[in-house]
Amino acid sequence: MIKVSAPAKVHLLGEWSVVWGKPALLTTVDLRISVTVIASRAKQSHDLRKIIEPIIKKELKIKKIPPYSLKIESDIPTGAHLGSSAAVSVASVAALLSFLKIKWDLDLINRLAYEAEKVFHGNPSGADNSTIVYGGLMWYRKETGDLKIIQKLPFSVPYKLSKNFILINTGTPKKTTKQMIERVSIKYKVLSIKYKKLFDHQEQLVKELLTAIKDGNEKELIRIIRAGERNLESIGVCSLAVAKIIRKIEAAGGAAKICGAGATDGPTGVLLCYHQDRRVIEKIASENKLNYFSAKLGVEGVKQE
């Protein structure tokens, strides 16, 4: 029996702009998905197998994989933009490679998981799967073609900051990440000057956030998250309903932002929220009848259990 687990992830800042070659800052979250592979001849139909198997066969230059059964267990909310699809891709690739007795290789796992993410999302940045594979705090930038800058940072979010982060789940967006990417891609072609300016500003904010985190600067952290969220709203990926919740958090002295593809209306998935008094965030979430939770940031990436 082979069992592999992978964590969730969250964008601290840089989602969307990262698709167009700008840097993103991400970190893992201690919600995990596990994939178990057992040698078995029992018939099993699983859509994931149809995606992962061809990728592994092509990589290993093999025609068949010995019969097996696949079991998936997850603590990661689906459709919340916490990287559930990337986590299942990473864990499934790693588990199946281990089942085939391939040497544990994070770079190989990441490369093949990225191929699976392309099937799921069309034009993913690769940031989600990279963060989930390597773990911790990640600086990510997609250059031209398949060239990427992936740097696991030698420090994490300091406790004085991390203890005050809260995740609010606004619900599952009506449109998938793939659909949102297609929508923004069309708008980017029409409004390229506006979008390039927004993405340039987002790049600067990501760099400033990196310094703020390293220095444990709470005031700067709040300013940067607020500014980054404004850019996301200008791109058109945060619904009015969720923007209203974000304004309430800001009016109370905190900051909040969407953490993934977002949505044009209705729920946008998880909000990353910060306040020096976390009870303020919890109160706003409760008033809006939304689930919220805190989670440890910067945990270990994919691993064998």
Pair 171, 149 in one domain: no
- 168 & 283 share domain: yes
Q: HEC states along the chain?
A: CEEEEEEEEEEEECCCHHHHCCCEEEEEEEEEEEEEEEECCCCCCCHHHHHHHHHHHHHHCCCCCCCEEEEEEECCCCCCCCCHHHHHHHHHHHHHHHHCCCCCCHHHHHHHHHHHHHHHHCCCCCHHHHHHHHCCEEEEEECCCCCEEEEECCCCCCHHHHCCEEEEECCCCCCCHHHHHHHHHHHHHHCHHHHHHHHHHHHHHHHHHHHHHHHCCHHHHHHHHHHHHHHHHHHCCCCHHHHHHHHHHHHCCCEEEECCCCCCCCCCCEEEEECCCHHHHHHHHHHCCCEEECCCECCCCCEEC
**93 & 136 share domain:** yes
Residue 190 has pLDDT above 80, yes or no: no
- Do residues 123 and 214 both lie within one domain? no
- Which residue range(s) make up the domain with 129? 2-156+299-304
Are residue 233 and residue 217 in the same domain, yes or no? yes
Check residue 72 and give its pLDDT: 94
* Co-location of 180 and 47 in the same domain: no
When the pLDDT of each residue in the chain is averaged and rounded to a whole number, the result is 92
Whichever domain contains 22, its CATH number is 3.30.230.10
Q: Are residues 103 and 218 in the same domain?
A: no
Residues 277 and 164 in one domain: yes
* pLDDT tens per residue across span 150-179: 899 998 889 889 899 999 999 999 888 778
User: Considering only CA atoms, which of 257, 269, 245, 77 is closest in space to residue 173?
Assistant: 269
Residue % of the chain over a pLDDT of 90: 69
For residue 182, pLDDT over 90 is answered with no
Instruction: Using a cut of 0.75, tell me whether the model's pTM lies above it.
Output: yes
Judge whether residue 189 has pLDDT over 90.
Answer: no
pLDDT score for 170:
95
Return the number of other C-beta atoms located less than 10 Å from residue 205's C-beta.
Answer: 23
Confidence check: pLDDT of 91 > 90: yes
Domain count for the chain: 2
| Residue 202 CB-density burial (10 A; 0-12 exposed, 13-18 middle, 19+ buried) | buried
Residues 275 and 220 in one domain: yes
Confidence band of 186 (pLDDT split at 50, 70, 90): confident
213-231 pLDDT per residue, tens: 999 999 999 999 999 999 9
Tell me: pLDDT of 236 over 80: yes
131, pLDDT greater than 90: yes
The CATH number for 200's domain is: 3.30.70.890
> Residues 11-22: pLDDT tens digits?
999 988 888 889
Judgement on whether residues 167 and 253 belong to the same structural domain of the protein: yes
- 122 shares its domain with 167: no
Q: pLDDT-derived band of residue 127, with 50, 70 and 90 as boundaries? A: confident
For residues 112 and 78, membership in a common domain is answered with: yes
